[in-house]
Chains A and B, each alone.
Chain A
Amino acid sequence: AQTVTQSQPEMSVQEAETVTLSCTYDTSESDYYLFWYKQPPSRQMILVIRQEAYKQQNATENRFSVNFQKAAKSFSLKISDSQLGDAAMYFCAYRSSTYNQGGKLIFGQGTELSVKP
């Protein structure tokens, strides 16, 4: 079974600075997808960025980028130029590429990010 681990329950960053959130996972599959979701107090899960395991190039979305290390099974999220609106709970998630798994996501425990003005 696949597992996802986020070892940082809380992180803090100064506004305009850069922060990196860590995520490791365990799987025996060679093809899969990885995601970072943001959950503000509204509770709605918002997709931040996704990475296909077969792609070596790290995904980027504006101020958000990932460092995907497949051999190490590591998938960290870097937030550049942090803004107050980035404060939220961040979840790392794994999805199998196997069709019979559907789109089921396996989530880590989350990292609470606070941004200091």
Chain B
Amino acid sequence: GAGVSQSPSNKVTEKGKDVELRCDPISGHTALYWYRQSLGQGLEFLIYFQGNSAPDKSGLPSDRFSAERTGGSVSTLTIQRTQQEDSAVYLCASQRRWGSPLHFGNGTRLTVT
């Protein structure tokens, strides 16, 4: 695959359920970022991975949000006990090395009913 792949493309879940969002970065990209885009808003930084470690997780809005990255590749963003305010598009981006451009995926649109 040539680009960043995110799955699912769309997810509808009931309030209180847990959800997992997946990001497959471009092969060889060492850094990975998660952003959240609420309706009509800009992108809000959530967490950044360098390899498998997360030097900056300052944007995670609450302890219901967590993320991991394994094998320096795939990352999963988990939201526990979802709330309606979690409804948003979650975007992932990867980066080959520090200073190089970020490549974004098409995002996962999460709707909490």
Partner among B42, B45, B106 whose Cβ is within 8 Å of the Cβ of A110: B42
User: Known: A42-B106, A44-B104. Is A105-B56 also a contact (CB below 8 A)?
Assistant: no
A75 at the interface (CB under 8 A from B): no
Q: For chain B, what secondary structure do more than half of its interface residues adopt (helix, strand, loop), or is it mixed? A: strand
A selection of 8 A-B contacts at a CB cut-off of 8 Å is A42-B106, A45-B93, A45-B104, A104-B33, A105-B33, A107-B43, A108-B42, A109-B42
Binds B, one of A60-68, A78-86, A95-103: A95-103
B25 at the interface (CB under 8 A from A): no
* In the complex, chain B residues whose CB is within 8 Å of the CB of A50: 101
Report yes or no: B42 in contact with A45, Cβ–Cβ below 8 A: no
Q: Count the A residues whose beta carbon is within 8 Å of the partner chain — how many?
A: 23
7 tightest A-B contacts by CB? Answer: A45-B104, A107-B42, A107-B43, A43-B107, A109-B42, A102-B48, A44-B106
